[in-house]
């Protein structure tokens, strides 16, 4: 597996990572890997997690969106929600 170096982590984030590691009795590496997997909607096995998918109809848009922009955005989100997860993130081993 490749190693990655993440630079410029702010103090608050670093402290939160350390606190979670201590609380869960995990290594800092395991906390960061878990956070990355969760943020990317992936399980430990590299599969896309259906629980992380958002219902497009439940989105609340911030800022100013006219009716046409909102309709186009919701249509795009609906199309993404129907897309097989492996189309967006290929299965491992292929």
What CA–CA distance (Å, rounded) separates 48 from 51? 9
What CA–CA distance (Å, rounded) separates 47 from 50? 9
In this prediction, the residues of the chain whose per-residue pLDDT falls under 70 are 43-59, 85-94
Res 76: pLDDT: 85
């Amino acid at each position: 597996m490749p190693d990655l170096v993440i630079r410029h982590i702010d103090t608050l984030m670093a402290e939160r990572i350390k606190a979670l590691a201590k609380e869960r009795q995990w290594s800092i590496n395991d906390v960061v890997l878990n956070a990355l997997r969760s943020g990317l909607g992936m399980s430990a096995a590299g599969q896309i997690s259906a629980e992380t998918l958002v219902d497009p109809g439940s989105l609340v848009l911030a800022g100013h969106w006219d009716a046409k922009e909102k309709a186009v955005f919701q249509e795009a989100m609906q199309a993404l929600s129907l897309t097989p997860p492996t189309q967006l993130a290929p299965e491992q081993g292929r």
